[in-house]
Structure formats: C-alpha cells, structure tokens
Amino acid sequence: MTDKLEMANQLDIAFVRGAGDYMTLSVLGSFQFRAGDTAPALPSGSQRLLALLALRDRSVTRLMVAGTLWPDSTEQHASASLRSALTRLSGEARKAVDVADLDLNLASGVVVDIRKSKAFAHRLLEPHAPHLAPDETATAVASLSADLLPDWYEDWVLIETAEWRQLRLHALEAMAANLAAEGRWAEAISAAQAAIRGEPLRETSHAALIRVFLAEGNQTEALGQFQRYRTLLNDELNLEPTENISDLVTPLRRRSTDR
C-alpha cells in the first residue's frame, strides 16, 4: 500500500484543490497558477516571470531574469519591467516568489508540474524503471504528452520546449518497451502512439510501436506501420527510412514478396 501511495504521488501532476495555502504552478498544456482553490488573474509580465522561475530550478539573478524576459530593452528598462512584474504579483501570488537583493527564486512550497514530470521521465529511463499499475499508465502517458507552454514563442521558452520534447519522447518509448516486456500490449501501444503524436517524423517512436506489434505477434500491423511511416517520410522530407527500422520488418517484406 505504501508503494502504491508513493507512485500515486509521483504521478499526481494535477492541481491539488482545497489545500489552503498550497500553491501550484502549471506550464504544461497551458499556464496556470493556483493558490488553494483560487486562480488569481495575473498580467502577462507576471506570468512570464513565474514561468521562467518554474523552469529554473535554482536561484537566478535579477539581471538574468530581466535580460531574458525583455531582451530587446535596455538594461534600465528591463530592470524597470521586472520591478513592475514583481509589484503586480499581489496577494497569494506574491508568496510564490522569494525575493532577495540580487536573486529571485520560486518559493519552495510551490509545486510545479514540469518538475514532477521531468523527474518521472528520468525514472523511466533508469535501468530499473518504476512498475506502473494498470490504473496508473494512462496518467503517466498524459503527463508525458503535454506540450510545454504552447503558443509561447520566446527564445527562452523554445529552448526549454525542445529539451522537454526530447526527454518525454525518450521516456514514452522506454515506457512502451517496458510495458511490452510485461506483455501489456494495449498499454505499450498507447505509449508508443503518444510518442508518435509528439513527433510524427521521429523514427525511433515508430520503431518502438513496430517492436510492440512484432512482440504481440501482429505482423500485418507491424508491416503496415512501417509502410505508413515510409510514406510519411517520403512525402514530407523525400527521405527513406534508415536500416535501423527497415531491418525490423525486412523478413516480413521478404516473405510477402515471395508469396
């Protein structure tokens, strides 16, 4: 029972409601800050400040924050904009930031969804990945399928977005392999398909799905998935699949041709 509760806590990246002063910050799927049951409205500058601190799991200097959030402004104007963003963090939102003379940091009591999801993704990539109960797999796939701050196109966000995409796709592929090794075919297929949705042209994600089909004994599904990927790759990039994925289905294609 203890292990079950621990895993549930690891996978619980949703907002905790009715928790008094409990503060949560979401940057996956969309930006949202909550303090207990309330979600105070925040101006754009304050949202960007909280998001940046959420993605920096450490103290950062005021100068770095100002230069990152307002890169086209002079140092003086950027610093003034930062002071304004801090001032407009009113009420419970103000408690979310620890302010020092030179540094800023997200308060230790703020729970950030991206931090929990990253930690979980890294555990999936370890040699002894955590076992997922059937009722936990869907939550795990969902936590690794959410995009980071979609529709935010600033450079500092795009860098973090690319890093998160690579981590979560590798984790989904690893999850598919682990579930397939347990004979949990439907869940393994779901994880591999989530990786493909995250990056439709990613060869290793298609290969992960093909391996699940082959392990399950669905040769036609495996061959069909390869053909779909090959057509997509040709249409989009005028490229052929590499030998790494082609070799998975070469015996099937050879037998099909012989027949």
Digit-by-digit pLDDT tens for the chain (259 residues) are 444 444 444 444 333 333 345 899 999 999 999 988 888 889 999 999 999 999 998 899 999 999 999 999 999 999 999 999 999 998 888 899 999 989 999 998 899 999 999 999 999 999 888 889 988 999 999 999 999 999 999 999 999 999 999 999 999 999 999 999 999 999 999 999 999 999 999 999 999 999 999 999 999 999 999 999 999 999 999 999 999 999 999 988 776 555 5
Under CATH, to which class is 2-111 assigned?
mainly alpha
Q: Which CATH superfamily is domain 114-258 in?
A: Tetratricopeptide repeat domain (1.25.40.10)
Q: What is the pTM assigned to this prediction? A: 0.86
Per-domain residue ranges of the chain: 2-111, 114-258
Q: What is the 3-state secondary structure (H, E, C) of the chain?
A: CHHHHHHHHHHCCCCCCCCCCCEEEECECCCEEEECCECCCCCHHHHHHHHHHHHCCCCEEHHHHHHHHCCCCCHHHHHHHHHHHHHCCCHHHHHHEEECCCEEEECCCEEEHHHHHHHHHHHHCCCCCCCCCHHHHHHHHHHCCCCECCCCCCHHHHHHHHHHHHHHHHHHHHHHHHHHHCCCHHHHHHHHHHHHHHCCCCHHHHHHHHHHHHHHCCHHHHHHHHHHHHHHHHHHHCCCCCHHHHHHHHHHHHHHHHC
